[in-house]
Amino acid sequence: MRRLARYVLRRRKRRTEPPGRPKLLIFDFDGTIADTFAAAVTILNTLAGEFGFRPLQPIDLERARDMRTRQLMKFLNIPTRKMSRIARRGSEELHARIHSIQPLPGMPGAMRQLQAQGYSLGIITSNTEVNVQIFLQNHGLELFDFVRCSSKLLGKARMIRSVMRRQRVRAADILFVGDETRDIEAAKKAGIRMAAVTWGYNSRRSLDAMKPDLVFETPAELVHYLANRYPAQSDSGEPALQRESPVS
C-alpha cells in the first residue's frame, strides 16, 4: 500500500508541475514561416476546375478563415478521398512559384533569435521538402535541424510522433508553432504544447475556439514570451538533437 501511495503521489506531482522550457520548436511552414496565402488561393481556384470542386471567391475569404479544415472542404465540396491528390498537385503548382514566395514579416529575425537562445528548430508541413528547402536557401534561413513532410493534409499528428521517435525527444519538450486549426488538432493528438499564430490562414476567432496553449499576434511576441518565460540556460551537458541531412 505504501508503494502504491508513493506511486500515486508521484503521478499527481508530475501532472501538476508546470511545463518546463521546450527543447524543440516545430514550425508549420505555409502561413507560419512563408507568406503563401495569396498563391494558395490562386492555386486552389486553379485546381477547382481540375478536380471539380467549388472555387473560393474573394467574398468568401474571411468566412473561410473562420472555418476548420473539414468545414472548408465541405463548403467547397471537396471529397475527402481527393485531398491527398489535391495537396500533391497544390505543392507542384507552388513549386513553380516558390522563388517569388517571401517570408512573413518578422519571421526571419524571430527564428534567428530563437536559435540564438538555444532552441532546436524543425519544420513539419504538408508542403514538399524540395519547396521548403528552396525557400530556406533563397532567404538564408537554413536554421532547421529537420524538415518533415506529409502528403496528407491531416497527417501532421503522425509526423509529430515520428519526429519524437527519431529525435528522441519527449512530448513535454516540444512546442509546435502553427497558424491553422488543423495544427492545433495535430498537437493535441500528439500530446504536445501548441502555440497558435494569428498572421496566417485561420482567424484569431477560429484559433481561440480550439483552445491552444498559447496564441501570438506577432513573431516578436513569440520571441519575447520564450525569452522571458524561459531565460537562456547554460549548457546542461545534454546531447543536442540530431540534425537531419538536407535534400540534395
Question: What are the catalytic residues?
Answer: 28
**Is the residue at 182 inside a domain?**
yes
210/113 same-domain check: yes
136/208 same-domain check: yes
Neighbours of 94 (CB within 10 A): 21
**Is the residue at 56 inside a domain?**
yes
Instruction: Supply 84's cell numbers.
Output: 491527398
**Is the residue at 96 inside a domain?**
yes
84/130 same-domain check: no
CB 234 within 8 A of CB 243: no
25, 157, 213 from 192: Cα distances, Å: 11, 10, 10
**pTM for this model (two decimals):** 0.85
**Is the residue at 31 inside a domain?**
yes
Pick the most confident of 113-117, 150-154, 233-237: 113-117
Q: Read off the pLDDT of each residue in 186-200 and give the average, rounded to a whole number.
A: 96
pLDDT band at 236 (very low <50, low <70, confident <90, very high): very low
107/183 same-domain check: yes
Q: Using N-to-C axis directions, what is the helix angle for 107-116 and 219-229, rounded to 10°? A: 20
pLDDT band at 237 (very low <50, low <70, confident <90, very high): very low
31/46 same-domain check: no
Range of the domain at 25: 21-35+103-229
Q: Which residues contact 119 (CB under 8 A, 6 or more apart)?
A: 22, 23, 24, 25, 226
88/189 same-domain check: no
CB 38 within 8 A of CB 100: no
Can you tell me whether residue 182 is helix, strand or coil?
A: helix
d(CA 104, CA 228): 23
Boundary (domain end) residue, out of 46, 80, 100: 100
What pLDDT is recorded for position 233? 58
Q: What is the pLDDT of residues 46-89, one digit of tens each?
A: 999 999 999 999 999 999 999 998 899 999 999 888 888 898 89
d(CA 35, CA 33): 7
53/74 same-domain check: yes
CATH number for 171: 3.40.50.1000
**Is the residue at 6 inside a domain?**
no
118/28 same-domain check: yes
pLDDT band at 35 (very low <50, low <70, confident <90, very high): very high
CB 68 within 8 A of CB 203: no
CB 145 within 8 A of CB 241: yes
Q: Read off the pLDDT of each residue in 217-227 and give the average, rounded to a whole number.
A: 97
> How many domains, the chain?
2
Can you tell me whether residue 124 is helix, strand or coil?
A: strand
Q: Read off the pLDDT of each residue in 101-121 and give the average, rounded to a whole number.
A: 97
For residue 147, give the H/E element and its range: strand 146-149
Boundary (domain end) residue, out of 84, 100, 116: 100
For residue 86, give the H/E element and its range: helix 83-95
**Is the residue at 48 inside a domain?**
yes
Specify the higher pLDDT residue, 239 or 18: 18
What pLDDT is recorded for position 155? 78
28/67 same-domain check: no
114/146 same-domain check: yes
Single-letter residue type at 51: F
Specify the higher pLDDT residue, 150 or 206: 206
Neighbours of 228 (CB within 10 A): 8
**Is the residue at 147 inside a domain?**
yes
**Is the residue at 151 inside a domain?**
yes
